[in-house]
Structure 1
Amino acid sequence: MKKILSLCVLLSSISAVNVHAEEVDCVTTSWKLIGSNHKVCVQAYDDPKVKGVSCYMSQAKKGGLKGTFGLAEDPAQFSLDCRQTGKIIIKSKLPLQEVAFSEDTSLFFKETRVVRIFDEKRNTLVYLAISRKIIDGAPANSISTVPIMSWTK
C-alpha cells in the first residue's frame, strides 16, 4: 500500500507542472500506410514565471495506429531553444532550479521535462530539456540559455 501511495504522489507531482504548449507546426518524417505519419512537431512555451522568455521545442512524434490513438511512446528525440522575446519580468523569486514545463511522451511513465536553472553568477537562465522515465530514466537532453539583459525596441 505504501508503494502505491508513493507512486500516486510521484505521478501527481509530475503532472502538476504541465503548461499548455502552443503547437507551431509539424513536418512529416516518415509516411505510414495505416494511421498518422511519423513527424517532428515544433511547440512554443512561454515561461510561466519569467515574462519575456519563450522556448521552442522540436520533438519526434510516432505515428501509425498507436500514434493515431495516443498509445505510442514517443522517442526521446528533441531539441530546445529559448529566447528573450520581450522585457524580462520575473514574477517572483526564482529558485536555483525548478521544472518550468513538462509534457507526457507516452500514455504512462515517460515525459519530457524542461528545468529552469538560474545561474546567479552570470545572470543567466539555463533551460535544460530531459527525457524522464519513472523506472529507468533516459540520457537524452538539450540545453539553451537566456542572459537576463535589458530590452529596447
Structure 2
Amino acid sequence: MLKHIVISGLVSMCGLVHAEEVGSVDTAFQLIGPDHKIVVEAFDDPAVSGVSCYISRAKTGGISGAVGLAKDPSRFSVACRQVGPIRFLHPIPKQEEVFKQSASFIFKHVRVVRIADAKRSTLVYLTYSDKVIDGSPDNSLTAVPVSGQAIPVK
C-alpha cells in the first residue's frame, strides 16, 4: 500500500502539462502563512495547437498551505478558448486527460479531460477533482468549436 502511495505521489508531481499562473486574488487574511486565495492558471492543450485553457481554483493558505500540506477546496472553473489557428498535432482519442495538478499533499488532484465531439465539431473540456478514497461531484465545463476541419479522432 505504501509503495502505491509513493508511486502515485511521484506520478502526480510529473503531471501532463504545467500550468502557468497568470494572476490571483486574496480571499481571506491569514495571520501566519499566505492568505487563502483564488489562483488563475493557463495551459495550452498539448495535442491541439491554438487552444489554451484557463483554470481558476481556490488555494488554502495558512501554515498548512505554506508547507504544502493543505487540502484545497474542490471549487474551480475552466474556460478554454481558441487563441490561434487550430491544428491537431496527431489524431486524438475521443477522451483524454490533458491536465492534472495536485490539490493536496498526495491524495487529491484537479484534472481536465478533453472530449472530442466529432459530430458537432467541438472540443469539450471538463474539470473536476478526484481523491484516492472519495472524489467530488463539483465540476466545470467549457467547449471550443472547431470550424473548417474535421477533428481527427483515433
The TM-score with structure 1 as length reference comes to 0.89
Equivalent-residue separation in structure 2 for 1:34 and 1:97 (angstroms): 42
The root-mean-square deviation of aligned C-alpha atoms, in Å, is 1.8
Q: Distance in 1 between matches of 2:86 and 2:15?
A: 21
Gaps of 5+ in 2: 149-154
TM-score with structure 2 setting the length: 0.88
Could you say which residue in structure 2 is the equivalent of 1:53?
A: 51
- What is the CA distance between 1:6 and its match in structure 2? 5.7
Write the distance in 2 (CA, Å) between the matches of 1:115 and 1:15: 18
Cα contact 1:17–1:100 (8 A) shared by 2: no
Count of matched residue positions in the alignment of Structure 1 and Structure 2:
148
Name the structure 1 match of 2:38: 40
Following superposition, the deviation at residue 18 of structure 1 comes to 2.9
Identity of aligned residues (%): 49
Q: What SS is found at the alignment partner of 2:112?
A: strand
Amino acid paired to 1:88:
I
Counterpart CA distance in 2 for 1:95 and 1:114 is 14
CA distance in 2, matches of 1:4, 1:87: 46
Instruction: Rate the CA distance shift 1:15–1:120 in 2: closer, same or farther, 3 A.
Output: farther
Local SS of the residue matching 1:67: helix
- Partners of 2:64 and 2:9 in 1: how far apart? 23
The residue matched to 2:119 in structure 1 has which SS? helix
String of CA shifts for 1:3-41, please: whole Å, max 9, x gaps. 566666655665554311110011000011111000000
Which runs of 5 or more residues in structure 1 are unaligned?
A: none
Q: CA deviation at 1:138?
A: 1.2
